Homo-oligomer: A and B are copies of this chain.
Amino acid sequence: MATYKVGSIGEYIREQRKRAKVSLRQLAEATGVSNPYLSQIERGLRKPSAEILQQIAKGLRISAEALYVQAGILDDRDVDTDVQAAIRADVALSERQKQVLLDIYESFRREEGHDGEAAMPMTPPTKGEYR
């Protein structure tokens, strides 16, 4: 959590865009947001509205919520509880399945803070790579 700095929405968007290997112009086309404006957003010169963020998320095929969190308009905690709440609310899952998923999710969260190496030997390098 504390690893992420809310407010660097531009950096985050650029990062996701590079990860997706698309140019600004390609993203502009995919999102319907102008190329210069995307550039300005990435460089922190402009502060996009939620609607623009929504479009960008769609163009990058990522969750709009992740962008909202970065932009500070959605509380990180809300997103956190969403996974647990989502699992609990999913009527397609049996209670046992829910519990399994919740356990795994929670162990992932713990290993995030404590023992990344213990549970998943491959995870640390990937994690470091991600960040």
CB within 8 Å of B: which residues of A?
Answer: 1, 4, 49-51, 54, 62-66, 68-71, 73-76, 78-83, 85-97, 100-101, 104-105, 108-109, 112, 116, 119-120, 122-123, 126-127, 130-131
Q: A49-B50, A70-B91, A91-B126 are in contact. List 4 more A-B contacts (CB 8 A).
A: A50-B68, A64-B73, A79-B89, A81-B89
Q: Which residue of B lies closest to A123 (CB)?
A: B94
Q: Which chain B positions have C-beta within 8 A of A127? A: 91-92, 94, 96
Q: Which chain B positions have C-beta within 8 A of A109? A: 92-93
Q: Complex Cα distance A65/B79, Å?
A: 10
A60 shortest CB reach to chain B, Å: 12
